[in-house]
Amino acid sequence: MADLTDLPGPQGKDNTPGLKSIIYIAPLIWFSLIKGFKTTTAAGDSVTIDGSHQFLPEKGFIKAYGTNDSAELKLDPTGERDGRGKKATFEFFNPGNTPEAAEFDRTIKNLDCIVLLQTPDGVVQQVGADGLGCEILGSYASGKLSGGRRGYTFKGEAYQNGNQFYKGDIVLKDGSSVNAATGVITPAQGGG
């Protein structure tokens, strides 16, 4: 169990709310190894994923676009005294009316996933875990001629013990990867 440490305020650092517009999603069945939390005892280790997840051949995270200022992650308490956890919920809006978006909506509702969300300052937060996948459900609205927006609002829900931080490689389905800690992109090997 982690020891309690001081909890200072921002101390002059930016604390920009919200999430970036790219959301990384992968069904649990695509993983060959889902990493758990670090077992070391430095401050923050008990909520940090221990390395990079691994995938089956030709699988990896897909990227979903969410309109700026439409994405939000929330963690709310669940359970009773001596048995509490968190319910993680997030949502994002994907604009448009394409067959690809409709197919994504039709398929994703039947899959448990791990989702990676990135804050404006580059912190990557994970929703879902091995055996406790994130469910994602979409709803569509056409908007009105006089206003509104046309597209899909996707909402995710998972149960977990709290915020989960991911600092490993974000391996994409195309074979490339993004280092979650630095943002450095490594292109897919071969591809020639």
Using DSSP, state whether 46 is helix, strand or coil: helix
Q: Could you give the CA distance from residue 50 to residue 43 in angstroms, rounded to a whole number? A: 14
Identify whether 174 is part of a domain: yes
Residue among 165, 164, 161 nearest 77 (CA): 161
Residue range(s) defining the domain that contains residue 41:
22-185
Mean pLDDT to the nearest integer, 6-34: 92
Q: Which two tokens stand for residue 143?
A: 């908007």
pLDDT at residue 167, as a whole number: 95
Mean pLDDT of the chain: 93
52: which strand partners?
none
Identify whether 4 is part of a domain: no
Identify whether 176 is part of a domain: yes
Are the C-beta atoms of residues 169 and 184 closer than 8 Å to each other?
no
Looking at the predicted structure, is the pLDDT value of residue 192 above 50?
A: no
pLDDT at residue 14, as a whole number: 84
pLDDT digits (tens, 9 = 90+) for 73-132: 999 999 999 999 999 999 999 999 999 999 999 999 999 999 999 999 999 999 999 999
Looking at the predicted structure, is the pLDDT value of residue 183 above 90?
A: no
Q: Could you give the CA distance from residue 143 to residue 157 in angstroms, rounded to a whole number? A: 25
Identify whether 14 is part of a domain: no
Q: Which two tokens stand for residue 181?
A: 């800690």
pLDDT at residue 6, as a whole number: 85
Identify whether 5 is part of a domain: no
What percentage of the chain reaches a pLDDT higher than 70? 98
Identify whether 6 is part of a domain: no
